[in-house]
Structure 1
Amino acid sequence: MFETPARIEPCFFQDTIPAVLADLTVELQREADNLGRGLHPESAAELADLVRMMNCYYSNLIEGHNTRPKDIEKALAGAEVEPERRALALEAKAHVIVQRKIDEMYSKGDLLSPTSVEFIAWVHRMFYHEMPEEFRFMERPDGSKVEIVPGEFRKTASDDVVVGRHQPPSSDRVEAFMAHFSMRFRVTEKWASTRIIAIASAHHRFNYIHPFPDGNGRVSRLMSHAMALKAGIGGHGLWSISRGLARGLKDRGEYKRMMDYADSPRRGDLDGRGNLSEAALKDFCGWFLTVALDQIRFSTALFDLERLEDRYRLLVKDISEDKRAPDLLAAVLKHGSLERGDVHLVLKTSERTARNTMSAMVRQGFLKSETPKAPVRIAFPLDYRERLFPNLFTDAELTMPDPRPLSFR
């Protein structure tokens, strides 16, 4: 039977946007605007790098790969990782590198449409170029192994796959489906609310097509991250969709259940005009956007930026005997960076004493710089991150202000 790309319809809501989704877009915009407010952009950029690690940690966890944060940091620094954990660490490194590049392109205004075929192929290509050899092959049902070609869609019958109960489009139809996908979601980029809702619907429809032999889940989560940036709810890079998808709203199995539910076929004349259920798509979008809202609010509570300086001062006071160190860290956090020649002015001491204080803070990982003569910036050493940001890589709950009740059902 000839497969038409209309099989993934509805990609969006044809007539009117459901009120509950419209309400969610307003909440998301408001909460994302508040996230990171008052923090210098350079200091926010350092925190964003920490969130990239959290994002890849949870994205890998969804795939069943539990990677230690310390191993991720070692891999990013080019340090040796124990052989038994090396492959997972390099896989996580690949994720961070791609997300970092996406963020850089967005900040420069060079980010392509995240739902374009060009962007999606680029994400997969860059991700697999960075992958360790162990993860660049997949096993077929007959036991044979085939190499995953970075950036290439499924093409032949031998690449056909089954995902749980779902049978994605045949490999020889993937290009047509992806062209339709890109065309349909390009339309949603015209308005702020539709850009936000499309993050959710595109996430499912992309995975429904399952265009690559492997890596679709990670690519879809990076696509969702890029779409959030384009939609104006990136929150300075200080929140992670992967953490929310890995945890769900009630339990860890929600993501897979909701993805499966959104595969539901149309249920009669009152359920939209496409092949798939519009009601199920509405529920999935409501769930996905509620997860995003929950994660933005989690990051707001986790980073607690109004009290970050106080926490950092107390930490450095406990670690260092230098009474000037907390003042230096607070100044760099506030201003984003500090010229080395200005440190003595901030500390109101001699250049030599100021240099000694600054050098000690760099050695201990509280400050960093591109070169020995470049300005110093704030850093968040992994050994002390639980002190600064408790529960960053754990499942413990934070006390968050109650949001206005929202129901997506």
Structure 2
Amino acid sequence: MSALLETPSRIEPCFFEGDIPRPIADLVVDIHSTTAELGKALHPDSAAELAEFVRVMNCYYSNLIEGHDTRPKDIERALAGAELEDEARPLALEARAHVKVHREIDVLHREGRLPSPTSIEFILWVHRRFYEEMPEEFRCVRLASGRSVEIVPGRFRTKAEEDVAVGRHHPPSSGVVGDFMAYFAKRFGMADAWASIRVIAIAAAHHRFNYIHPFVDGNGRVSRLVAHAMALKAGIGGKGLWSISRGLARGLEDNGEYKRMMDHADMPRQGSRDGRGNLSEAALRTFCTWFLSVALDQVRFTSAAFRFDTLEDRYRRLLRDLGHDAKAGELVSTALRFGEMERGRAALVLGVSERTARSTLSKLVEDGFMKSRTPKSPVRVAFPLDYRDRLFPSLFADHRIEAPAPPSFRFAR
């Protein structure tokens, strides 16, 4: 490989040299406005509970991109520490690792301790935490050369035998990955101080990270977790109620777009009018436009799929169909709107005796519709996976749903 391609500036351009293209600027404005409205009527406690549900969805689609199709119910069972069927166990434990890291990122953000998501320290932490939780079956990878290489959690590629090829793309050699990632961290760390490019940087960094391909394995899933962390930092996290992975797995028109667009963004500079870097600025502009269009589409989809304005009604109908007390829906509605509720308030909310209220509440907890940290602590609403199709149709399926049409986009072929 030429010396020119082994220098960190190989990933330039990382940003746009001149003005931000108008279509991208418009997408950023739309994403900010739609995420600000997402789950606005929900109490933060209810939103946090629903965010856990979304983590499972995010994990499901992120792993699906890697060719690992894990049933959401198996992911939930793995998270609960339940027994798993032998054939489902490895993929379910892999998915559990993904959800755990996603959850830890959300906690860091909520507590104000989330560092720059494009820093070397954070990226290594994500990879380390992911693979520390991995089953043994996924602790090594077979490279194109036929060599089997151990995956060391939280370590970049450093050895010649760890050089990789991704389709037609040949990432930087292992010996210079550290230099490339230091350059990556410096360039994209600048976005933290520029509100106007924080959202755009999510798209650009996603491609450039995978272009470097710093780890022997796990690059795709780490990059999508980093994109989630960047969205939180950029103020478009939407309370954790939307998933970029679902959009990348499905695309705007077909599920092959992600691979095509990543490949398109690998294009070298096409002449003197195509920016000043090694890679094509026009291709980066196309990729960022597509990526942000996918993000906007997913925020809109989530709002339509969750239908927060009718969530209470759907929950009430479900409880009635399952034979719960006619007034049980009042407890769920109260928890949705006002968050955690002291158990002693149940009788007041329902307007019944304490004994009847305890019975109604106990049944809701037993069936997973309400939950608490201890048998006597306050309760909050829950969203049991067994009834996801009734509460939130089409989150894991391909059924049509009434949602705004995807943003207009002309694909590079």
Q: TM-score range by the shorter chain?
A: over 0.9
1:143: Cα distance to partner?
3.7
> Does residue 44 of the first structure (1) align with residue 47 of the second (2)?
yes
1:341: Cα distance to partner?
1.4
Return the match for 1:133 from 133, 136, 144: 136
Encode CA deviations 1:162-182: one digit per residue, 9 max, x unaligned.
Answer: 000000000000000000000
Distance 1:404 1:152, change over 3 A: closer
Encode CA deviations 1:327-360: one digit per residue, 9 max, x unaligned.
Answer: 1111112111110111111111211111111101
Contact 1:249 1:291 in 2 (8 A): yes
Q: Write the distance in 1 (CA, Å) between the matches of 2:284 and 2:407.
A: 23
Encode CA deviations 1:171-212: one digit per residue, 9 max, x unaligned.
Answer: 000000000000001111222220000000000000000000
Encode CA deviations 1:29-61: one digit per residue, 9 max, x unaligned.
Answer: 011111111111100111110100000000000
Q: Which residue number in structure 2 is paired with residue 193 of structure 1? A: 196
Return the match for 1:251 from 250, 254, 266: 254
- Percent identity at matched positions? 65
Distance 1:41 1:321, change over 3 A: closer
Q: Which residue number in structure 2 is paired with residue 342 of structure 1? A: 345
What TM-score, normalized by structure 1, do the two folds share? 0.98
Gaps of 5+ in 1: none
1:19: Cα distance to partner?
1.0
> Does residue 388 of the first structure (1) align with residue 391 of the second (2)?
yes
Q: Write the distance in 2 (CA, Å) between the matches of 1:319 and 1:177.
A: 57
Superposed structure 1 runs of 4+ greater than 3 Å apart: 140-144, 401-409
> Does residue 324 of the first structure (1) align with residue 338 of the second (2)?
no
What TM-score, normalized by structure 2, do the two folds share? 0.97
Q: Write the distance in 1 (CA, Å) between the matches of 2:231 and 2:144.
A: 36
Please give the root-mean-square deviation of Cα atoms over the aligned residues, in Å.
1.3
Q: Write the distance in 1 (CA, Å) between the matches of 2:275 and 2:124.
A: 31
Q: Write the distance in 1 (CA, Å) between the matches of 2:405 and 2:247.
A: 17
Contact 2:369 2:381 in 1 (8 A): yes
Distance 1:321 1:25, change over 3 A: closer
Q: Which residue number in structure 2 is paired with residue 224 of structure 1? A: 227
Q: Which residue number in structure 1 is paired with residue 56 of structure 2? A: 53
Q: How many corresponding residue pairs?
A: 409
1:145: Cα distance to partner?
2.4
Instruction: Map 1:9-408 onto structure 2 (within 5 A).
Output: 9-401=12-404
1:403: Cα distance to partner?
7.5
Aligned partner of residue 197 in structure 2, secondary structure: helix
Contact 1:20 1:408 in 2 (8 A): no
Amino acid at match of 1:314: R
Q: Write the distance in 2 (CA, Å) between the matches of 1:407 and 1:141.
A: 34
1:406: Cα distance to partner?
6.7
Q: Write the distance in 2 (CA, Å) between the matches of 1:265 and 1:89.
A: 39
1:401: Cα distance to partner?
3.5
With 128-137 and 325-334 compared, the bigger mean Cα shift is at 325-334
Q: Write the distance in 2 (CA, Å) between the matches of 1:321 and 1:342.
A: 19
Q: Which residue number in structure 1 is paired with residue 10 of structure 2? A: 7
Contact 1:155 1:174 in 2 (8 A): yes
Q: Write the distance in 1 (CA, Å) between the matches of 2:407 and 2:216.
A: 42
Q: Write the distance in 2 (CA, Å) between the matches of 1:138 and 1:65.
A: 15
Gaps of 5+ in 2: none
Amino acid at match of 1:291: V
Contact 2:301 2:404 in 1 (8 A): no
Amino acid at match of 2:43: H
Amino acid at match of 2:14: C
1:264: Cα distance to partner?
0.2
Contact 1:43 1:336 in 2 (8 A): yes
Q: Write the distance in 2 (CA, Å) between the matches of 1:140 and 1:405.
A: 38
1:25: Cα distance to partner?
0.4
